[in-house]
Amino acid sequence: LLLAYDPVRKLARVQVNVERALVNARMIYEILDLEPRQEDVPGAKELVVSRGDVVFDRVRFAYDGHRPVLRDVSFEARAGKTTAIVGPSGAGKSTLFALIQRFYDLDGGRITIDGQDIALVTKRSLRGAIAYVSQHPYLFEGTIRDNIRYGRPDATDAEIEEAARLANAEEFILQQPQGYETLVGENGVSLSGGQRQRLSIARAIVRRAPILLLDEATSALDNESEAKVQEALERVMKNRTTLVIAHRLSTVVNADHIVVLEDGMLVEEGTHRTLVKKPHGVYARFYRMQSQKAEDLLEYGAGQSLA
């Protein structure tokens, strides 16, 4: 009886885990090899990324087919550069991330990567070109090594350890009871927010994808963890086309390009230097309010949220 019971119990546990994983759509984006809803078009080609230029060209989208969530949004995220996306809650920032990964079809316009319409390439090649770091990284039941390997199943142990080093994760991994073989997830050791983020960054590094989607953390980490996460992020962003949903003032100020979304529309874009100069600009107003708050908070070393 016990023998018969055990597999059933295991299966039930898997089921619960899958359901939990599906609860939060943002988590799904991190599990990059999940089957997306969209099928490939007949004769779909492999995406070939030479530079990594991402273009949103008059993108229109509604989840329900009626109420527009993105209205003719056009901008370019240039190869190897960082594009910060800012705007109030509900403006459509996360939806842009869902669309570039083809979780939904567009209602109008197109998204291209190096001139190739993402609707016409295989979803596998598209997903392979993109790494996603979320603000609430999902850890599977399994070892730390397995969790990093999710970024690329054929990564070698040496590559996994190199990624962990670059992500500033090695030190805390080696402090765990079984190092890389330590179990994490529901029944494993619990990790702090900053540690989870660094595992997620290591996962993105092993993926070796030229395009990085980053949803910055809104909650402040402790100072040491914060600095290590920032350093790791800077390493992973280097030489990749990065689109970041920015919640930190420093990210926006240092970005190569800023896109301001409001109610599904692109209302302003440019660099920090050009946008702050617009006397009645949305961004300039935003910045004035936030930098005032940031000064207040800097004494405590806390991060600052823009959205």
Q: Which is nearer to ligand ATP, 125 or 134 (CB)?
A: 134
Q: How far is the CB of 200 from ligand ATP (least distance, A)?
A: 18
User: Which is nearest to 164 in space by CA: 206, 128, 213, 192?
Assistant: 206
Candidate segments 88-96, 127-135, 151-159, 223-231, binder of ligand ATP by CB under 6 A:
88-96
Token pair belonging to 306: 């823009």
Candidate segments 46-54, 83-91, 156-164, 193-201, binder of ligand ATP by CB under 6 A:
83-91
What are 261's strand-pairing partners?
266
Q: How far is the CB of 8 from ligand ATP (least distance, A)?
A: 33
What are 132's strand-pairing partners?
213
Q: How far is the CB of 102 from ligand ATP (least distance, A)?
A: 14
251 binds ligand ATP (CB under 6 A): no
Residue 261: how many other CB atoms lie within 10 Å: 26
Q: How far is the CB of 2 from ligand ATP (least distance, A)?
A: 43
Q: How many angstroms separate the CA atoms of 293 and 41, rounded? A: 49
Neighbouring C-alpha atoms within 13 Å toward the C-beta of 192: 16
Q: Which residues lie below 8 Å from residue 173, measured CB to CB, with a gap of 6+?
A: 144, 164, 179, 180, 182
C-alpha angle 166-169-171 in degrees, rounded to nearest 5: 110
Q: Which is nearer to ligand ATP, 69 or 294 (CB)?
A: 69
238 binds ligand ATP (CB under 6 A): no
Could you tell me if 104 and 61 are in contact, meaning their C-beta atoms sit under 8 angstroms apart? yes
101 binds ligand ATP (CB under 6 A): no
Q: How far is the CB of 166 from ligand ATP (least distance, A)?
A: 28
265 binds ligand ATP (CB under 6 A): no
Question: In the window 20-39, what residues touch ligand ATP (CB under 6 A)?
Answer: 25
Candidate segments 12-20, 53-61, 73-81, 91-99, binder of ligand ATP by CB under 6 A:
91-99
- Size of the residue set binding ligand ATP (CB under 6 A): 12
Candidate segments 33-41, 45-53, 86-94, 144-152, binder of ligand ATP by CB under 6 A:
86-94
Question: In the window 191-230, what residues touch ligand ATP (CB under 6 A)?
Answer: none
Q: Which residues lie below 8 Å from residue 96, measured CB to CB, with a gap of 6+?
A: 56, 59, 70, 73, 85, 243, 261
Region of 252 on the Ramachandran plot (φ > 0 left; ψ -120 to 50 alpha; else beta) = alpha
Q: Which residues lie below 8 Å from residue 77, measured CB to CB, with a gap of 6+?
A: 53, 54, 55, 56, 83, 241, 242, 243, 257
Interface pick for ligand ATP out of 90, 179, 270, 281 (rule CB under 6 A) = 90
Q: Residue 71, SS3?
A: strand
Q: Which residues lie below 8 Å from residue 267, measured CB to CB, with a gap of 6+?
A: 260, 261, 282
Candidate segments 90-98, 109-117, 139-147, 184-192, binder of ligand ATP by CB under 6 A:
90-98
Question: In the window 268-307, what residues touch ligand ATP (CB under 6 A)?
Answer: 307
Q: Which is nearer to ligand ATP, 210 or 303 (CB)?
A: 303
Contact positions vs ligand ATP (CB under 6 A): 25, 63, 69, 87, 89-95, 307
